[in-house]
Structure 1
Amino acid sequence: MKVIESERFTAARAWGALDVCTMNGITCRLHWTDQPYKWHVNDGEEVFAVMHGEVKMHVRREGREDTLTLKAGDIFHAQAGDEHFAEPVGEARILVIEKEGSV
């Protein structure tokens, strides 16, 4: 067993992660960041839960770009093939659950 106080977690670089666990090929990682990620498409589903801070989630659907604002406690689910990138507003801590080895 372990308890992780997500609000206290920091990393040496943007998107640095703490591996919480791996279950049957699915990883659960806590990320710290103060910088945007990059546009990407996962080869599997992804669950993205904002633990602390605020994140602007940019998504492309049917040739249209939208921005969703995620606050602490909000959860974003991307299907395989959904194009997106996350942009924190200041510092953010995010729990990401996805297939092991995903981008």
Structure 2
Amino acid sequence: MKVIESENFTAERAWGALDVCVMNGISCRLHWTDKPYKWHVNDGEEVFAVMHGEVKMHVRRDGREETLMLKAGDIVHAQAGDEHYAEPVGEARILVIEQEGSV
């Protein structure tokens, strides 16, 4: 058993990650970032949990863009094919659970 103090995790670069575990082909990774990611579509489903900080989640649906403001404790479930990108407000720590090797 291991305990990870997510609030204290940092990385050398934006979106650097700590691999928490891989279970049956599903990866669980803790990310640290202070910069936005890029627009992307995941191959499969993704769970995105903000552990520390605030994150603007930009989503494109039916040709429209919307922004969801996420705070620590908020969880997003993205379906395969959902186009999105995350933009932290300052520093953020995010737990991402997705198919191993996903974008």
Tell me the TM-score normalised to structure 1 length.
Answer: 1.00
Residue 79 (structure 1) aligned with residue 84 (structure 2)? no
Please state how far the C-alpha of 1:34 moved relative to its aligned partner. Answer: 0.0
Q: Please name the residue that 1:70 is paired with.
A: 70
What is the percent sequence identity of the aligned residues?
89
Question: Structure 1, residues 60-99: CA drift from partner, whole Å, max 9, x if none?
Answer: 0000000000000000110000000000000000000000
* Alignment partner of 1:34 is 2:47: no
Unaligned runs of 5+ in 1: none
Aligned AA (2:60): R
**Partner Cα separation in structure 2 for residue 77 and residue 33 of structure 1:** 20
Match of 2:46 in 1: 46
Matched, 1:61 2:54: no
1:28-83 CA-to-partner distances (Å, cap 9, x unmatched) read: 00000000000000010000000000000000000000000000000011000000
Q: Secondary structure at the match of 2:90?
A: coil
* RMSD between aligned residues: 0.2
Cross-structure match for 1:9: 9
Q: Which runs of 5+ in 2 are unaligned?
A: none
Moved over 2 A (4+): none
Q: TM-score, normalised by structure 2?
A: 1.00
Secondary structure, in 3 states, of the residue corresponding to 1:89? strand
Counting matched residue pairs gives 103
Partner of 1:90, secondary structure, is strand
